[in-house]
Structure 1
Amino acid sequence: MATIKDVAKHAGVSTSTVSHVLNKTRYVSDEVSARVKTAVDELRYAPSALARSLKVQSTKTFGMLVTTSTNPFFAEVLKGVERRCYEYGYNLILCNTEGDVARMHANLDILLQKRVDGLMLMCSEVESQGFNLFERHKPVPTVVMDWGPTNFPCDKIKDNSHRGGYMATQHLIAKGHTEIGCITGVLDKLTAQQRFAGFTQAMDEAGLAINPKWVTAGNFECEGGEQAFAEMVANGPLPSALFVCNDMMAMSVINSASKKGISVPEDLSIIGYDDIQLAKYITPSLTTIHQPKHRLGKKAVDMLLEQIKSKSESNQIIELEPTLVERDSVKALN
């Protein structure tokens, strides 16, 4: 494999001249540049990314930790991240945590050993751990995406989940529903707590009682929605409407209801949360709360780049606002 010294010798120039031609860091005459480029082509020389990163103290690489999930929400956020990385010439190393704290630590160690220029974290299983991410490594620019409390310097991007839960419930009330239930996520997760708090606030403001038989907890996966709905059915008569705290669970509820002969929305109205791409293709298409997933991914990369440019710790918090998307799964009673 040819080295930069081989190229320099073949072109009859110094190694520094070869470097200036390839990196465009200093003016080199057209005649010399042409000789260097010819030598590069003839010797099939490929610059070492590792060597360059050591020299300029930048790997042009970001690391991202994500909870493994069947939920397409994560894939849609990742698409925004990857697109923005490509636009700015950065590589992305993606690590799945498998919902395991030990695996998350191992992945983090690997990313920091590879000297990534920044980190994006989307792994809620460590929400209550309260550990120091950088106890064994020098801190790097970090953006936390929809996560709980942290004890290290970072930027945060949050979905206004309380507002989204409130909007979803208000929509059902505006459609004339007074008997409304909720399938929450696991309530030790901040996102699930906030969406349920929004539901509770809207019900309180409307003077509507919350029937405990109509509140069950899922796990943000299809199986969790199915199990939570089965529990609610076993508790007795159903409400006229349900706020299901993410689309994956909402779609499984629609499927389960159909199997039980319960028509959506004729017998039971359902509103979800996230607005994943599949939501508009099921039958009936799902009314839901939209999260700006691509914008979330792109903004995370932008915030990392801002931290790198400023060379200073940052603790800014950006909250992305949800919006209502009306489709066919909610029936108007009024």
Structure 2
Amino acid sequence: MATMKDIARLAQVSTSTVSHVLNKTRFVSDDIEKRVKQAAKELNYAPSALARSLKMKCTKTLGMLVTTSTNPFFGEVLKGVERRCYEKGYNLILCNTEGDSERMKASIETLLQKRVDGLLLMCSTLEGEKIEIFERYPELPVVVMDWGPMEYASDKIQDNSFKGGYLATQYLIDNGHRNIGCITGPLHRSQASLRFEGFKQALLDNNLSLNENWITQGNFECDGGFHAYQTLKQNTLKQHTKLPTALFVCNDMMAMGLINAAIQDGLTIPNDLSIIGYDDIHLTKYITPSLTTIHQPKHQLGKVAVDTLLNRLRQPDSPQQIIQLEPTLVERQSVYKIH
């Protein structure tokens, strides 16, 4: 790979002159500028991003830690992150933690060695764990996305999960349903617990009782929804009761798994069982029936996270922010209106 010394030798000028021409830091004659640029072209010279970053103390690179999942939600958020990085002239290094705190620490060490300017964290499976490595790098700008409370002080982007749970349940009630169940996510995670709290509050506000036999905890994956249906059915058989007429399923992946199980069991969606999901992932438009769901602004989540991190880089001493994105209802064909 050609260096400035190689260019200087070919152009018959000093290395400092080459630097001034390429970095436009000092005036040189047209003849010398032409010779230097021609030599650089002949040698296929490319400036060293590493050398420049060491000099400027800025790599124009962000790191992102994410726990991968079969859930396309994460991919749709990542698309928003990547697009915003490109628009702002930044590169992105992506690391998968696979829900392992030790792997997360190793990934952070790697990203620090790469001299990233800041970090985006989207690892909600590690919620509640103390991550000591951040205490060793208190100056490192970090934005946490879609995660519950953590000890480390950072900027945070979150969705209003309580409101989303309330919206979903109220929609079922507005469509005439009174026997309503809920498939929650893992309740140790704040998103799942807040959506469930929103569900319960909507029942309370409408003077409807909560039937524990119609409440089942899932894992935010398709198989969790599939198995939740089996558990729900077993509960009703044991108690000699019927299934609810409607279910709030706390994410779309579980909703799709549950619909699959219900159809295998001979039910028709939505006539026998109405379903509302959460997230509004792209696939939900194209299943049959298309899924009524709560929309999370995934691209906006990615965009706002990048903008917040860049703002932290510009103003490192400004107060930490908690930015809340608001959910909205998307009405499709998976909820039956009881007249």
What stretches of structure 1 of length at least 5 have no aligned partner? Answer: none
Shift of 1:27: 5.0
Is 1:83–2:83 an aligned residue pair? yes
8 Å CA contact retained: 2:128, 2:150: no
Please point out which of 234, 241, 244 is paired with 1:239: 244
Shift of 1:81: 0.4
Shift of 1:186: 0.4
Shift of 1:197: 0.3
Question: What are the superposed Cα offsets for residues 240-289 of structure 1, whole Å, 9 maximum, x if unpaired?
Answer: 00000000000111111111111100000000000000010000000000
Separation in 2 of the partners of 1:215 and 1:47?
60
8 Å CA contact retained: 2:122, 2:147: yes
Shift of 1:21: 3.4
Please point out which of 291, 310, 313 is paired with 1:286: 291
Separation in 1 of the partners of 2:30 and 2:234?
80
Aligned to 2:324: 319
Question: What are the superposed Cα offsets for residues 214-235 of structure 1, whole Å, 9 maximum, x if unpaired?
Answer: 0000000001111111100111
Shift of 1:146: 1.2
Which amino acid in structure 2 is aligned with residue 35 of structure 1? R
Is 1:72–2:72 an aligned residue pair? yes
Shift of 1:29: 5.0
Separation in 1 of the partners of 2:300 and 2:25?
34
**How many residues are aligned here?**
334
Aligned to 1:4: 4
Aligned to 1:184: 184
Is 1:263–2:255 an aligned residue pair? no
Question: What are the superposed Cα offsets for residues 195-219 of structure 1, whole Å, 9 maximum, x if unpaired?
Answer: 0000000000000001001000000
Please point out which of 309, 313, 325 is paired with 2:314: 309
Shift of 1:37: 1.8
Question: What are the superposed Cα offsets for residues 60-90 of structure 1, whole Å, 9 maximum, x if unpaired?
Answer: 1110000110000000000000011111221
Aligned to 1:104: 104
Aligned to 2:137: 137
Deviates more, 1:41-50 or 1:285-294: 41-50
Aligned to 2:239: none
Is 1:117–2:117 an aligned residue pair? yes
Separation in 1 of the partners of 2:26 and 2:292?
58
Separation in 2 of the partners of 1:29 and 1:279?
63
8 Å CA contact retained: 1:130, 1:149: no
TM-score norm. by structure 2 comes to 0.95
Residue 81 of structure 1 aligns to a residue whose secondary structure is helix
Shift of 1:11: 2.4
Aligned in 2, Cα 1:35/1:127: closer, same or farther, shift over 3 Å?
Answer: same
8 Å CA contact retained: 1:133, 1:152: no
Aligned in 2, Cα 1:203/1:28: closer, same or farther, shift over 3 Å?
Answer: farther
Aligned in 2, Cα 1:143/1:240: closer, same or farther, shift over 3 Å?
Answer: same
Please point out which of 253, 260, 271 is paired with 2:258: 253
Aligned to 1:213: 213
What stretches of structure 2 of length at least 5 have no aligned partner? Answer: 237-241
8 Å CA contact retained: 2:216, 2:231: yes
8 Å CA contact retained: 1:132, 1:151: no
Aligned to 2:94: 94
Aligned in 2, Cα 1:203/1:51: closer, same or farther, shift over 3 Å?
Answer: same
Aligned to 1:53: 53
Question: What are the superposed Cα offsets for residues 89-134 of structure 1, whole Å, 9 maximum, x if unpaired?
Answer: 2111111111111111111111112211010000012211133342
Shift of 1:152: 2.6
Residue 274 of structure 1 aligns to a residue whose secondary structure is coil
Aligned to 1:161: 161
8 Å CA contact retained: 1:153, 1:314: no
Residue 148 of structure 1 aligns to a residue whose secondary structure is coil
8 Å CA contact retained: 2:216, 2:232: yes
Question: What are the superposed Cα offsets for residues 31-68 of structure 1, whole Å, 9 maximum, x if unpaired?
Answer: 43332221111111121111111111111111000011
Percent sequence identity is 65
Deviates more, 1:229-238 or 1:171-180: 229-238
Aligned to 2:201: 201
8 Å CA contact retained: 1:112, 1:137: no
Aligned in 2, Cα 1:30/1:207: closer, same or farther, shift over 3 Å?
Answer: farther
Question: What are the superposed Cα offsets for residues 116-164 of structure 1, whole Å, 9 maximum, x if unpaired?
Answer: 1010000012211133342333531111001122223311001000000
Shift of 1:25: 4.5
Aligned in 2, Cα 1:308/1:5: closer, same or farther, shift over 3 Å?
Answer: same
